[in-house]
Structure 1
Amino acid sequence: MRIEKILNNSVVVTRNDANQELVVMGKGLAFKKKIGDTIDPSGIEKKFILEKSGMTEKLETLLRDVSPVYLNIAAKVVEYARGHLPYDLDEYLYIALTDHLSFAISREKQGIVLKNPLLWEIRKYYQQEYKIAWKALEIVEEETGYALGEDEAASIALHLVNSQLTGEHMLRAVQVTEMVSDLLNIVTYFFKGNLDDSSINYERFLTHLRFFAIRFLRDERLPELAESFLYDQVRLKYRRAFECTERMDIYLKERFHSGLTKDEQLYLTVHIHRLTECLQ
């Protein structure tokens, strides 16, 4: 492998056998090297592919101010997360996590602790991501000696959620989390707080809400495909669940000036009925 770009003494860009742009890391890997020189494979500690245009330039800019130690940690976290999450992670996560971890350790050194206002929601609604985030904190402690707390675990979990949104701004992940929380609260209050959050139907409903919120906020709405007969059957058969979706529709119209389509209302009604069947 030959060096195509030097990001710093420990990080260079090259290409693999498939001609994909490859970022490789290793202590002193580029020391006294120049573009076109070969890389000693024995010195490579970590490597990953960046396929999106502009990613290498963003990483180069970041590494002017951030130690490659944090990129190495981020790469380990991404590798672990990819082995434990059922969805793809956007490669921008390498950059976002590197930047976040560098800033988090800097704050820790100064004794500054930032509270995550969404800690409770993230811990409850994104349990898988939150669990992986704690593994990330173990890696951070192993590599840096600093033990970060639950607020940072929540922040890392939110980065994983955001990566599912294909590199959109972190604000979108916050909006998704808040919408899921609000919609779930509507269902909880409507059925007087008697939901079984340990049931498989609860997990299915939560997953459906997450993907609904992502589509809604992207304005990628389900088309009106449901036959009126099926819609009317569900509305009449699952009256209480349907009434609950009407409350959700009111909330969405008041908050976002856009309500549920008939298909979305139908799917939500079916999920709510499964979740609350024993309560009706």
Structure 2
Amino acid sequence: MFNNNASSTVTDDRKEDILLGLGIGFNKRPGDEINKDKIEKIYYVQDNIQTNFLDLLNNVSSEVIDASQKIISLILGNEGEFNKKGILSLIEHISFEIDRTEKNIYLHNLMFSDVKIMYSEEFELGIKALEIIDEICYIRLPKDEAVYIALYFVNMQENHNSAYDTLKFIKGSIELIREYYGLELDELDLNTIHFITHLKFFAQRIFNNKTYHDDKMIEMYDYLINNHPKNVKYLNKLNEYIQKEFKYKLDNSEKSYLLLYWTKIL
């Protein structure tokens, strides 16, 4: 038993797992039977993360574990499987941030504005996560922490794709817009939201080595490229940036698709 809400058990095939649930370990001793009705989550821990998981559960409060469970449920609901390294990392991070906040050590997150714009849904989940931590652990973490938790949600959804690479891709694309068009994007504008959403999906295609080709978009290329005098310079510089940083070369149908969304903002 780790604490009132976490317990380690051994399955019939001799694999160790971690059971989480409200009061699941209360007044229990090694060898006692577990009340199955109290089981909320089961994590089968094995291989190289087993020791880390067990050590972590021994060194964090049951409130942190409860809060982490509830935060994960924001994205999983009652279905889906959460990566075991993900729960380990989230519990550890929340515990560390609570300790840092209690010591009045605050670090500003330099990606705050970028994540808020590019991952608005996940950012809102991050805000809800802070409310959960406040409710269960009785401590209010700084709002910057919503960014870190938002990126956990992003990584959970994108599997092996790096949220930081996606951020880098989108941020670089938007910085070129500022440079060549002299515009600041309005994060609340619907067309801006559509454009950034397209950039996110575009980045994921690049990281998965999935090319995009559409003859109809190629037919629109000349019209779109000439729609604004700065479009050519912007696309050439964007293509250079993507080739240098991500080893990917845009074709004309991809350029047209980007411009189709972008010209709605101009």
Which of the five TM-score ranges fits, normalised by the shorter chain?
0.7 to 0.9
The answer to whether residue 73 in structure 2 is matched with residue 79 in structure 1 is yes
CA–CA distance in 2 between the matches of 1:31 and 1:162?
Answer: 37
CA–CA distance in 1 between the matches of 2:51 and 2:160?
Answer: 16
In the alignment, structure 2 segments of 5+ residues that lack a partner are 12-16
Give the conservation status (yes or no) of the 8 Å contact 1:14–1:24. Answer: no
Structure 2 equivalent of residue 67 of structure 1 = 61
Pick aligned residue for 1:149 from 139, 142, 145: 142
Structure 1 equivalent of residue 166 of structure 2 = 176
Structure 1 equivalent of residue 151 of structure 2 = 158
Give the conservation status (yes or no) of the 8 Å contact 1:11–1:30. Answer: no
Q: C-alpha displacement at 1:179, in angstroms?
A: 2.0
Give the conservation status (yes or no) of the 8 Å contact 2:205–2:211. Answer: no
CA–CA distance in 2 between the matches of 1:148 and 1:189?
Answer: 36
Give the conservation status (yes or no) of the 8 Å contact 1:90–1:166. Answer: no
Q: How many residues align?
A: 256
CA–CA distance in 2 between the matches of 1:126 and 1:278?
Answer: 19
The answer to whether residue 16 in structure 2 is matched with residue 26 in structure 1 is no
Cα 1:277–1:127 change in 2 (3 A) is closer
Q: Alpha-carbon deviations, 1:212-270, whole Å to 9, x = none?
A: 32443x4x22246545xx464232121157633332111122334x23242xx523532
User: What's the TM-score once normalised by structure 2's chain length?
Assistant: 0.79
Q: C-alpha displacement at 1:203, in angstroms?
A: 2.0
Cα 1:49–1:56 change in 2 (3 A) is farther
Cα 1:186–1:259 change in 2 (3 A) is same
Structure 2 equivalent of residue 3 of structure 1 = none
**Larger mean Cα displacement after TM superposition, 7-16 or 188-197:** 7-16
Which letter does structure 2 place at the counterpart of 1:222?
Answer: K
CA–CA distance in 1 between the matches of 2:55 and 2:192?
Answer: 43
Structure 2 equivalent of residue 266 of structure 1 = 253
CA–CA distance in 2 between the matches of 1:15 and 1:138?
Answer: 35
Structure 2 equivalent of residue 112 of structure 1 = 105
**Larger mean Cα displacement after TM superposition, 267-276 or 132-141:** 267-276
Pick aligned residue for 1:121 from 110, 114, 119: 114
Cα 1:195–1:29 change in 2 (3 A) is closer
Give the conservation status (yes or no) of the 8 Å contact 1:71–1:94. Answer: no
Give the conservation status (yes or no) of the 8 Å contact 2:117–2:187. Answer: no
User: What's the TM-score once normalised by structure 1's chain length?
Assistant: 0.75
**Larger mean Cα displacement after TM superposition, 154-163 or 231-240:** 231-240
Give the conservation status (yes or no) of the 8 Å contact 2:213–2:253. Answer: no
The answer to whether residue 262 in structure 2 is matched with residue 275 in structure 1 is yes
SS of corresponding position for 2:263: helix
Identity of aligned residues (%): 22
In the alignment, structure 1 segments of 5+ residues that lack a partner are 1-5
CA–CA distance in 1 between the matches of 2:204 and 2:46?
Answer: 24
